[in-house]
A and B are shown apart, each in its own frame.
Chain A
Amino acid sequence: MTATMERPTTTVHPRAKRRRLSDGPLSTRIILTAVLGLIAIYFLVPVYWLIVSATKNSTDLFGSFGLWFAHPQLLTNLGDLFSFDSHIYLRWGLNSIIYAGGGALVATALAAGAGYGLARFSFRGREAVFNTVLAGVMLPQTALALPLYLLFAQAHLANSYWAVLLPSFVSPFGVYLCRIYADASVPPGLLEAARIDGASEFAIFRRIVLRIMSPALVTVFLFQFVGIWNNYFLPLVMLSDTKLYPITLGLTSWQGFASRQPLLYQLEVGGALVSVIPLMILIVVLQRFWRSGLTEGSVKA
């Protein structure tokens, strides 16, 4: 894991210069597109099924062909979904946003400070700290969830917002990314100049360093946001009050009752679709941030 000094910005090469199969014969291009199309079907069909099924009533969900519409009633279904059990679904959605948004925000701030501290200051034990954090990246999150529950239960913090939020503030992978990025992009000369001008260390960090590191910070935020949003084990272990559930936990709790209350199948499908849409938009729109940050992570691994 030696961090080489290297500009973080991926140099963009004119597409014309790159040799591509598309320069080849037409048949190659057609075959390639066909293969990509087939693979795309694999990735998209389940999402398509979800959209089609979200428009069906409970009877058609089981009684009609899954990949085509039957008596579409999306608005009725959404109304049912949002009003069921005194709007519990909206509450779950809000909880998910609190956990993922709050957790990712704090995690990014902590990782930015730690990454910058590791990259631009030398002190005894620096590499030991960094290696411990790296070991944290390798640690299965689920191995932590059980002991965390036991600790939180003793502190009377289990079954609260803090039980999910506090562990989400820690992103070892974020520290790793931030260190690599700060190492490569924050010019030591600029820091020296700011110090000579009399700026305090914190002001330098806030006004200069954070701005330079912003692409990496967006990446860390996205990683952590999706990670928390998708996490299941931690809230499952920590929470018993359904009002505190994130969407993921709420939907599986419906799954448990669905065999007795078939309406829940329909709500589950609709709830799954609604919960997936914001995240899908987020990750597709922000793809270029995934890319810029991911390069930093993988180049030096």
Chain B
Amino acid sequence: MATTKRRRLSPGIWFLAPFCLFFLLFFVLPIGYALYQSLFRTERTGLYGELGTHQVFAGFGNYAKVFAEGAFVQSVLRVLGYAVVQVPVMIVLATVLALLLDAASARGVRFFRSAFFLPYGVPGVIASILWGFLYTPGISPLVSIGGHLGLTPDFLGPNTVLWSIANIVTWQFAGYNMLVIIAQLKAVPGDLMEASRIDGANAWQAIWHIKLPLIRPAIVLATVFTIIGSLQLFTEPLVLQPLTANVTSTYTPNIAAYADAFSNNNYNYAAAEAVLLALIAAILSFGFLRLVGGRRRG
């Protein structure tokens, strides 16, 4: 970038300033505030707290309590277990769909691509309401078809509800991730494919040796966003909550934090949970990027 010059120093900052102001106010400040809040606890004065409340420095007391009480840790382990299944299923499905569409004849591709991508336009809340109906016996055609076949599918049972949630998320985002990968596939140079054909490579070899390595960045991107999405699982289980007792008030880290803040009015405790969740997400996503980045160099 030889043309950018030192004397142009100030305009760049002016272009950046409006965004930075909002970023500081609504991204950096809240995280700082959550950190600060998490280090205090609220004490009530008077026998019933009628004389008001004040903040007392608690150090890492809230964090110690989060670990001691265990419900939040349980919820983290639950979403981690969920992610271990959900992330590979999502990424493999999206990659296969992208490669299938890339291989299919030109006619019909546009229809299928739109069909797969369509659920991305359905908000998580609506998708959950929708699938919630499809999971509920009495209204669900899936359950009634299952009944005719002699099956009694229980989508909302203690061991199945998590995977019913996984299905909602997969349904919503597989097509979106597919599109990210297709975008990258389009960038595969045509002459590269032509050369491989002349060299006698078949379609599978072309996929394995040319396409997959080239769409790697898109797959990495989709994986990181799926990991983060898995950790902040909230809407889907919350919407299913009225339908089943198996989604508890500490089912996922976000539901636990939400309940602690607004049902239990313990903001300090909830702030500690929010900070921990952000920390875990950062460790996992940067850890993953490091892992794949390191392998690339090797």
> Chain A residues near B140 (CB, 8 Å)?
66
Please judge, given known A-B contacts A29-B105, A110-B19, A298-B217, whether A10 and B27 are in contact too, CB under 8 Å.
no
Please judge, given known A-B contacts A14-B190, A42-B171, A294-B180, whether A21 and B103 are in contact too, CB under 8 Å.
yes
Q: Mark A275-292, 1 if CB is under 8 A from B, else 0.
A: 110011011100100111
CA distance A66 to B218 in the complex (A): 38
The tally of residues in A whose CB lies under 8 Å from a CB in B reads: 110
Q: Which of B104, B124, B125, B228 contacts A32 (CB 8 A)?
A: B104
The tally of residues in B whose CB lies under 8 Å from a CB in A reads: 111
> Chain A residues near B270 (CB, 8 Å)?
146
> Chain A residues near B258 (CB, 8 Å)?
146, 233, 236-237
> Chain B residues near A208 (CB, 8 Å)?
none
> Chain A residues near B189 (CB, 8 Å)?
11, 13
Shortest distance between the CB of A194 and any CB in chain B (Å): 12
Return the chain B residue nearest A130 by Cβ.
Answer: B16
B83 at the interface (CB under 8 A from A): no
B26 at the interface (CB under 8 A from A): yes
Are the C-beta atoms of A151 and B30 separated by less than 8 Å? yes
Are the C-beta atoms of B141 and A66 separated by less than 8 Å? yes
Are the C-beta atoms of B182 and A136 separated by less than 8 Å? no
Instruction: Select the stretch in B49-57, B58-66, B230-238 that faces chain A.
Output: B230-238
Are the C-beta atoms of B31 and A110 separated by less than 8 Å? no
Are the C-beta atoms of A49 and B134 separated by less than 8 Å? yes
**How many interface contacts (CB-CB < 8 Å) are there between A and B?**
326
Return the chain B residue nearest A3 by Cβ.
Answer: B1
Q: Which of A113, A167, A276 contacts B26 (CB 8 A)?
A: A167
Q: Mark B241-283, 1 if CB is under 8 A from A, else 0.
A: 0100000000000100110011000010011001101100110
Shortest distance between the CB of B189 and any CB in chain A (Å): 7
> Chain B residues near A143 (CB, 8 Å)?
31, 34, 232, 274-275, 277-278, 281
Shortest distance between the CB of B44 and any CB in chain A (Å): 18
Q: Which residues from 1 to 35 on chain A have a C-beta closer than 8 Å to any C-beta of chain B?
A: 10-11, 13-15, 17-22, 24, 29, 32-33, 35
Q: Which residues of A contact B (CB under 8 A)?
A: 10-11, 13-15, 17-22, 24, 29, 32-33, 35-36, 39-40, 42-44, 46-47, 49-50, 53, 61-62, 65-67, 110-111, 113-114, 116-118, 120-123, 126, 129, 132-133, 135-136, 138-144, 146-151, 166-167, 169-170, 172, 175, 188-189, 191-192, 201, 205, 226, 229-230, 232-233, 236-237, 247-249, 251-252, 255-256, 259, 268-269, 272, 275-276, 279-280, 282-284, 287, 290-292, 294-295, 297-301
A13-B191, A110-B18, A188-B3 are known contacts; what are 11 more A-B pairs with Cβ within 8 Å? A10-B183, A11-B189, A40-B115, A123-B13, A170-B27, A188-B4, A191-B3, A237-B262, A255-B129, A280-B118, A287-B114
Q: Which residues of B contact A (CB under 8 A)?
A: 1-4, 6, 8-9, 11-16, 18-20, 22-23, 25-31, 33-34, 37, 97, 100-106, 108, 111-127, 129-131, 133-134, 138-142, 144, 171, 175, 179-180, 182-184, 186-187, 189-191, 193-194, 196-197, 203, 206, 217-218, 220-221, 224, 228, 231-232, 234-235, 239, 242, 254, 257-258, 261-262, 267, 270-271, 274-275, 277-278, 281-282, 285-286
